Amino acid sequence: MAHPPPARIFIVDDDPGLLRLVERALKRESFLTATASSGQEAIAWLAQNHADLVLLDLKLQDIEGKELINRLVDIGRLVPFIIITGQGDERVAVEMMKRGALDYLVKDAQFIEFVPTVVKRALAQIEKDKRLAFAEEQALELQKEVLEVSENEQRRIGRDLHDGLGQHLTALELLSQTLLSKLKSAAPALVQPAEEITRQIRETIKQTRLISHNLSPVPLDADGLMIALEELAAGTQGASAIDCNFICARPFIVSNANVATHLYRIAQEAVNNALKHSRAKTITITLKAEDREWTMSVEDNGKGLDAKPNQKSTSSGLGLRIMKYRAQLIGASIEIESPSIRKTHGVKITCKLPRKP
């Protein structure tokens, strides 16, 4: 089994003698090293090269350590770093750790002796974080696959109910109506129970179609999300005293059926939350297709979230956690606006999904 290559440590310090001592101590531990004696030199090197860890002197002559970190963030080249500081500057070092530093080293009598130990500890933490991030990514992918299989199975069951059981029940209703017309002349006493049987069959057909639709609410067409949300708004308005509107200024095309289903389920959950908790008179579902992202929002004019401290609100409920979970699976984000941060009443839940090229 091949051993991984040694880590490369990038040392940034404007003291040439100290730079050589640190580099020598790390090389004795078989680390690869690179050095820079100024902030500008460090930025230029990191723009073209890779380091596993940076040892950064806080007080460089041309750029202070804080500013150097900010510049590396701006150009997207920040790598894990350890702060090197003089005696008496530990408070500043702790402040830098809050900004992302893994550790700090103080330039005292034992400084060179401690360098390899602190570097090894930091690299071990980096490796641990990488493994954890990979495990979380794998778990999320597995959850995504499981949910997609579940959604696909629900769609299949929904289609089977509609095309199979639904069609058989419709045929049964036609037969019962034919039988009913014959009973009116042949056996009038049986007409009433036959009518009740026909009514029950008709109600079963209605329930079957409702279950089928709930299992597979989004048509597989590219504009299926638009159709489904329009039906959601119409169904909500028809089943309640709330005015529910759907707004989509231009065609909104989502070719991925699983993404469309997740977006629909998020909207459905937001509408259900508004119906249960908001006491709203109006709910508006909006779709927008912009150059860089898709935006879907559900807004109501109800009482809003409870902004009182130490009191649970809808924002901490299961519904919102489910919405955030679904959004995470498709790479989207969820934003919540309520009277505590809005000048208007009600709650607005917005889901934003970056458009991939």
First to last CA, the chain: 40
Whether residue 142 lies inside any domain: the answer is no
Report which of 307, 319, 314 is spatially closest to residue 278, judged by C-alpha positions. 314
Can you give the pLDDT at residue 341? 47
Same domain, 240 and 346: yes
* Mean confidence (pLDDT) of the chain: 85
**Pairing assessment for the beta strands 81-85 and 103-106 based on DSSP bridges:** parallel
Same domain, 58 and 15: yes
Q: Any idea what the CATH number is for the domain that residue 87 is in?
A: 3.40.50.2300
Structure tokens at 336: 């919540």
Same domain, 176 and 289: no
Can you give the pLDDT at residue 339? 62
Whether residue 121 lies inside any domain: the answer is no
Report which of 18, 33, 168 is spatially closest to residue 105, judged by C-alpha positions. 18
The answer to whether 201 and 169 are in contact (CB under 8 A) is yes
Whether residue 137 lies inside any domain: the answer is no
Give strand pairing partners of 333: 352
pLDDT at 57 over 80: yes
CB atoms within 10 A of CB 12: 27
Q: Which of 215, 243, 265 represents a domain boundary (last residue)?
A: 215
The answer to whether 338 and 305 are in contact (CB under 8 A) is yes
Can you give the pLDDT at residue 149? 80
pLDDT at 79 over 50: yes
CA 232, CA 251: separation in Å to the nearest integer?
Answer: 17
pLDDT at 245 over 70: yes
Q: Torsion over CA of 305, 306, 309 and 314, rounded to 10 degrees?
A: -50
Q: Any idea what the CATH number is for the domain that residue 326 is in?
A: 3.30.565.10
Q: How many domains would you assign to the chain?
A: 3
Report which of 232, 242, 230 is spatially closest to residue 282, judged by C-alpha positions. 242
Say whether 353 sits in a helix, a strand or coil. Answer: strand
Same domain, 250 and 319: yes
Same domain, 238 and 347: yes
pTM of the model: 0.58
Same domain, 252 and 163: no
Say whether 1 sits in a helix, a strand or coil. Answer: coil
Helical segments of 29-165, H only: 39-48, 65-74, 90-98, 111-160
Q: Which of 108, 139, 167 represents a domain boundary (last residue)?
A: 108
* pLDDT single digits (tens) 151-202: 778 778 877 887 788 888 888 889 998 988 888 888 888 889 889 998 999 8
Structure tokens at 37: 């004696």
The answer to whether 51 and 31 are in contact (CB under 8 A) is no
Whether residue 23 lies inside any domain: the answer is yes
Same domain, 210 and 162: yes
Same domain, 198 and 256: no
Q: Which of 77, 108, 139 represents a domain boundary (last residue)?
A: 108
* pLDDT single digits (tens) 285-309: 999 988 788 899 999 988 877 644 3
pLDDT at 270 over 70: yes
Same domain, 199 and 237: no
Can you give the pLDDT at residue 215? 78
Residues 6+ apart with CB under 8 A from 100: 69, 78, 81
* pLDDT single digits (tens) 101-130: 899 888 888 899 999 999 999 999 999 999
Same domain, 205 and 261: no
Same domain, 246 and 306: yes
Q: Which residue's structure tokens are 């500081």?
A: 85
Whether residue 14 lies inside any domain: the answer is yes
Structure tokens at 332: 């989207």
CA separation (Å) from 62 to 39, 42, 59, 201?
A: 6, 11, 9, 84
Same domain, 86 and 159: no
Whether residue 2 lies inside any domain: the answer is no
Whether residue 126 lies inside any domain: the answer is no
User: Residue 172's domain spans which residues?
Assistant: 152-215
Whether residue 116 lies inside any domain: the answer is no
CB atoms within 10 A of CB 323: 25
Say whether 179 sits in a helix, a strand or coil. Answer: helix
**Residue 36 burial by Cβ neighbours in a 10 Å radius (0-12, 13-18, 19+):** buried
